[in-house]
Amino acid sequence: MGPKKLPKDDPRAAHQATETTVDLDGLAAHLRGRNRWVLATTRADGRPQMSLVTGGMTADGKLAISTYPERVKARNARRDPHVSVAVMGEEFNDAWVQVDGDATVLDMPEAGDAFVEYFRCISGEHPDWDEYRQAMADQGKCLILIEPTRWSPVSTGGFPPSLFED
């Protein structure tokens, strides 16, 4: 016998967990405007390494994260391209999704056009793209591009719906 079912008019019913399965277009819609991510890569010893990052989904459906070549996330992604990203909203209890994929790390100057797409998906248009590309080169930046291979449902936390009467 499981837990006692709560009535649907119980105040907790307003805070039920949800899971919404989405296709790639639905994933893109969910990611739009959500740029605070946690990137998980794999350390050489097999344990996870997590980094708080700013990211965006490019027009061609890749996840893009700017970093520096010497950062551990870039080194790990070069060694083992299987990565995961948790995308959250502005508030801790907002809807979230986990995206798994295969990463490629691009260095300058090869990354120049990809940096343009990165900037666009987060901030829109830049007044001088040549200046922006040069700034990325001058700073020695690299870009992690992730091809999504699978993703979770878009989820919210809360009480399991099974706790409530049908």
Which class does domain 22-156 fall in? mainly beta
| Per-position DSSP letters for 30-89, written without gaps between them | HHTT--EEEEEEE-TTS-EEEEEEEEEE-TTS-EEEEE-TTSHHHHHHHH--EEEEEE--
The domain limits of the chain are 22-156
24-74 pLDDT per residue, tens? 999 999 999 999 999 999 999 999 999 999 999 999 999 999 999 999 999
pLDDT, one tens digit per residue, over 91-120 is 888 999 999 999 999 999 999 999 999 999
Please list the alpha-helical segments (H only) found in 6-94. 24-31, 72-79
pTM value is 0.91
